[in-house]
């Protein structure tokens, strides 16, 4: 089964978050992930509104989780901490990655 990595983000420091974004993309790609939505138009129906929403598709839940814990992504994440408020989750899909 495939997996979706879903992030809801409020950026509080554009410069630092830019460093995160520059490093996170290659880390995600290295683990088989590809972006299917990144910061586009959205409609908030319930819950806390976050102006940046990102969805990446991975081959498996395990690949997405390995990406998160990888040294490359953790380096990227060090720039997002303190520069954003965010929620991140991985959801298994009914489709192959």
Tell me the C-alpha distance between 53 and 66, whole Å: 21
> Which pLDDT band holds residue 95 (cuts at 50, 70, 90)?
confident
Cα–Cα distances (Å) from 44 to 9, 27, 51, 55, 82, in that order, read: 13, 28, 9, 15, 24
Q: What is the pLDDT of residue 52?
A: 95
Decide the pairing of beta strands 34-38 and 3-11: unpaired
Q: What is the pLDDT of residues 38-92, one digit of tens each?
A: 989 999 999 999 999 999 999 999 999 999 999 999 999 999 999 999 999 999 9
Question: Selecting from 1.10.645.10, 3.40.190.10, 3.30.70.100, 3.50.30.10, what CATH number does the domain 3-92 have?
Answer: 3.30.70.100
Q: What is the pLDDT of residue 64?
A: 98
Q: Is 29 exposed, middle or buried (0-12, 13-18, 19+ CB in 10 A)?
A: middle
Q: Is residue 97 pLDDT above 70, yes or no?
A: no
- pTM of the prediction? 0.90
Tell me the C-alpha distance between 68 and 5, whole Å: 10
Tokens of 97: 């990655």
Q: What is the pLDDT of residue 4?
A: 98
Name the residue among 47, 35, 34, 61 with its Cα closest to residue 8.
Answer: 47
């Amino acid at each position: 089964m495939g997996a979706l990595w879903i992030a809801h983000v409020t950026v509080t420091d554009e410069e630092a978050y830019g460093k995160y974004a520059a490093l996170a993309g290659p880390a995600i790609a290295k683990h088989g992930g590809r972006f299917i939505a990144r910061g586009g138009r959205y409609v908030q129906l319930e819950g806390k509104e976050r102006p940046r929403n990102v969805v990446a598709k991975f081959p498996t839940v395990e690949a997405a989780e390995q990406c998160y814990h990888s040294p490359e992504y953790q380096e990227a994440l060090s720039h997002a901490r303190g520069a954003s408020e965010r929620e991140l989750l991985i959801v298994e899909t009914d489709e192959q990655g």
